[in-house]
Chain A
């Protein structure tokens, strides 16, 4: 709790000079109306965007695609062939394509909220929206594994006992494998996405609000640093755009790889 304390202290110290440094409190937005908060509206909006865009793009299903359909097929083909088929294998991958495609598009939209003017809030910086996605991936890959190996125990054996290993080493290996393959995966999925979005958003706020505070401080030296802060903020924005795409990609790819590994018949 020392980190929280120091952040709180710095916020308190900054309060005296009129500058609020961004911290965990930056993600606690006041309700827009009633109990509805900005991230709630954003997450519903993202669903409308994802379903609306993909439906509009796929509606005509023309052999010669329109621009919209081409754009939709670009994403769809990327997830279908680049992620699902590569990771799961051409035999079973089609069962998981709807989920993986939805996941990728959903994350893409919610992540890019962070750099879209006036929205500027990555929904996945609220851990509450990440956990359901990770849990769903967890449930799906375990269910796929149980289905593929015809029974929970057989699946558990597949996931925890590496082929070609026998003897006392299993006493060490089985708990480790169970931990890394069953327990840790949803946690790392959650923390990776959440942490990246959270930290990236704090960075952007820091450079923007800090730059503004420095510029309006009245001191020429501070003002010059403020300009540098703004320029760095722009650079960080581009870096964040890359991170936003990468995190959506990594979350989807790992989910697909977990499924592929769970249903693989041999290691």
Chain B
């Protein structure tokens, strides 16, 4: 550098030439900054980042677990609901069958009862008719013999005869058509 041209040597120091003191100071200060940032700042920021990531991922995980639980619960409830429906259908079916069976049984019982009553009536009527026939026969015999004795004048008090006459009469009567 031609210092004779330069105005004042101390004021026009070439700006492209560094001062040794500045080089050393700049390097030391910057290295201190790097070390301080490296030791005290970056780990904290990274910690915050990691915790934030963890919190977000944890939240997502928790939500997924809840979702899975809810899905399982829903499936279980649906399962139970369908079981209950089947059960209800089965019970209804059973009830219907039972009802039908009961109705059939009752009908059978009623039929039997009716048959029994009819049978009983018939028997009773038959018995009464027999009785009536028997007593009628006895009375008709008495009446007839009494009437005939009066007409004939002959006593038919004799039992043996009487009964023979009545028998004959009745036999005639029964053999005559249209008489019952």
Binding site for B on A (CB under 8 A): 1, 4-5, 7-8, 11-12, 23-25, 27-28, 35, 39-40, 43-44, 46-47, 50-51, 54-55, 57-63, 65, 69, 72-73, 76, 80, 94, 97-99, 101-103, 105-106, 125-133, 135-136, 198
Closest CB of chain B to A21's CB: distance in Å?
12
Contact B15 A24 (CB under 8 A): yes
| Residues of chain A with a CB closer than 8 A to B32's CB | 47, 51
Select one of B14, B22, B27, B48 contacting A126, CB under 8 A: B22
Contact A132 B36 (CB under 8 A): no
A40 to B28, CA, bound (A): 12
Within B32-70, the residues touching A (CB, 8 Å) are 32-34, 36-38, 40-42, 44-48, 51-52, 55
CB-CB nearest in chain B for A98: B38
A125 to B32, CA, bound (A): 21
Contact B21 A44 (CB under 8 A): no
A131 to B16, CA, bound (A): 10
Contact A97 B42 (CB under 8 A): yes
| 5 interchain residue pairs of minimum CB distance | A128-B22, A128-B18, A98-B38, A58-B44, A132-B27
Known pairs A1-B2, A28-B10, A73-B48; A131 contacts B34 (CB<8 A): no
| Residues of chain A with a CB closer than 8 A to B8's CB | 25
Known pairs A63-B55, A127-B18; A98 contacts B11 (CB<8 A): no
Contact B48 A55 (CB under 8 A): no
Main secondary structure of the interface of A (DSSP, over half): helix
| Residues of chain B with a CB closer than 8 A to A58's CB | 40-42, 44-45, 48
- Whether B19 sits at the interface, judged by CB under 8 Å, is yes
| Residues of chain B with a CB closer than 8 A to A47's CB | 29-30, 32-33
Select one of A1, A50, A102 contacting B5, CB under 8 A: A1
Contact B45 A72 (CB under 8 A): yes
Closest CB of chain A to B19's CB: distance in Å?
5
A216 to B115, CA, bound (A): 144
- Whether B176 sits at the interface, judged by CB under 8 Å, is no
18 contacts between A and B (CB under 8 A): A5-B5, A24-B14, A24-B15, A28-B11, A47-B30, A51-B32, A51-B33, A51-B36, A61-B44, A101-B41, A101-B42, A102-B34, A102-B38, A103-B34, A105-B33, A126-B22, A133-B30, A198-B15
| Residues of chain B with a CB closer than 8 A to A5's CB | 2, 5-6
Select one of B15, B23, B36 contacting A131, CB under 8 A: B23
| Residues of chain A with a CB closer than 8 A to B29's CB | 43-44, 46-47
A142 to B52, CA, bound (A): 35
Interface centre among A7, A63, A65 (most CB of B within 10 A): A63
| Residues of chain B with a CB closer than 8 A to A23's CB | 12
- Whether B13 sits at the interface, judged by CB under 8 Å, is yes
Contact A128 B23 (CB under 8 A): yes
A51-B33, A76-B42, A136-B31 are known; give 6 further A-B pairs, CB within 8 A: A24-B14, A61-B47, A61-B48, A131-B18, A131-B26, A136-B30
